[in-house]
Structure 1
Amino acid sequence: MLKLIELLIFEHRNEHSLQIKKPYSVPKIYTGNDNLKKRWYVYYYFRNPKTGLLEKMGNIYGNSNHYKTKAESLSILTSLQKNLLNLLKKGYNPFKENQELYNKEIEKIPSTIADVEEPKMTIKEAIDFALNLKKQSLAKTSYRGLNNRMNNFIEWIEKNHSKLKTIEVLNKKILTEFLNYQLEKTSARNRNNFRADLSSIFQILEDNEIIISNYAKKIPTLKSIPTRNKTYSCNLPQK
């Protein structure tokens, strides 16, 4: 006569063999050990229909890295995590087009709901954000020079274009005007240094989807003529 434990083991094995593998994993949040200097995101795995194996899908960042506090960033990602799980339960499949699911979700949205704009970063906030990332990869002396030039740029904006508040309103014309100011004030070489630093900072902002385009990169570098000190020959008296 079979013992109870043997029957339970048999039932467990039978149930396990009949289980259907889940097509996805529960979405999780990566916070870089609560380090705001790293990019936070939501990640999940989905089973590849060809291999039958779970594969990691693309990270979902949202705008969590635009916020300065852990609570704000976590709030955004928690919402994304919850919504993603709901979509997965409804049949979302990253290996398909999901047009039918998309149409169903769109129908649920009332037409009277107005588009909600995301909070925009000020010029100083955006530049400070990029500087903070740059600081991790530059030597102290290099960072000090970059930081000083960016402070000069911010001061110039506040003095000459005080109505410009948010980063997305800056354009190529404004940046060119600032570089022309530096050219007239100092030299082509110094102007080019400002251009290179602005391009470096704005590239970070573009990569993080804070601005649409790096306008500084589209501004050409000026050819600077190096100034050579006049040399004098030392004529020694002949014996």
Structure 2
Amino acid sequence: MSMISLLLQNEYEKAYVFRMKVNFSEPKIYTGGVDVSKWSTLSRKEQNDALDKPWYVYYSFRNPETGKMIRQGQIKGGANKFKTKKERYQFLAILRNNLHQLLAMGFNPYSDNSELIHKIEGEPNHKKEHSETKKRKPKSERAKSIISKNSKPKIQKPVDNGMEIHKAMEFGLQIKKNTLSANSYPKFKNHITRFQKWLRSERPDLKGIREIDKKIIVAYLNSMLSTSSSRNRNNGRTCLSSLFTTLENNEIIEENFIKKINVLKTKPKRNKTYTPEQLERLEKYMKENDPLLLLYVYFVSYNMLRPVEVCRLRVSDIDKADKKLYIRAKNKPVKIKIIPDILLSKLPDLSVMQPDHFLFTPYGFGEPWNLKEVDRRNYFSRRFKKIKDIFKLGDEYGLYSYRHTNIGMMYREMSKSMSPMEVKSKLMLITGHTTLIALEKYLRDIDAELPMDYSGYLDPDYYKNLTDKS
């Protein structure tokens, strides 16, 4: 019976009902111990923990003997088969509303509800034969069946495709623009833009953001893999997943399913270390032909900086008097490093330069340069590549190779007089690694720790034969 029908009872019935003492509490929904109105602010773990608990409708009814309100049995009605907050809460809201109607119509868990059952089922309200009465279910079972019958209507879900696809993505991009660095955002946006172009070309039939499913994303990533590397495909997956997480947090989509898509194995690109002969030849050439680039290389080599960190340096970041270097690293706002004397002696007079000018520019040392950070780094990478090409060095060699080379050289030199733990403790201060595990992995990757000659283990007489020959 609809609420309108209930309100249209005759005046006598209404007056009688409103004079009665309220015998039941407002039915409520238990949602796993969390406030669903703040669902989007909960962490993924908190949401999953809540959904792992049973959700149900509960209410209290006045016991006719004691006059006290007694909590009644939980009503779940199969709601917990739904795995998302939205579906489960929608279902329980219908149960709650139907239960409230039944209570308002006079349902009483402590008495015979036959008259109410007749009213709902449309049966004639007169006494049946004794034989028919025996066939009826017990009143408790019939009452439960009425609640269940009214609480489980067939729900025709309206098709909700959500916000228009490209509008939703622009919304996500705007939020990411405020959270990503100026260096990271262009790369992120490039991946999202590429996906938007693919959708317009391959799936113009899709309109709403919720029409995009796992199958569509996998198809797009496979198309990326066919035209580029697995690394680029993984980067595309990461960017899309980050965007969809933002959309999920803002309740534009229900779930970020991209997290469940596998990450492909990739072969990491490794920068080779230089041999002593290569170092000597490169340094000699740059000293004669490009002394500014050589000074740039010294910052990478002697201060163990990344090329992009060197490009961030301004005149004000160098304190020659205190031998300190202030750098903005990727993992800290500002990091302080000492300037070793071997580098300090090669620096020009900084007192005549503007503090806000960059150290390294195409126009010289300590000059203004209005260019994005990534473009500044790429400029010096291209400048160094011209020299690499002269010496026929491949892609496996780069500016980063200087950092690897010098860390490996220091490790082997320090190992001659110190224990491995002492060496690593000192190196952590120089390289900037925050944990011993990270440093040990890095040293393994660059083959810094090499064994002594083990020929004697392969042939016990090897060194003896060498002595006899001499």
What is the TM-score normalised by the length of structure 1? Answer: 0.49
What is the TM-score normalised by the length of structure 2? Answer: 0.27
Larger radius of gyration: 2
| Higher share of residues assigned helix | 2
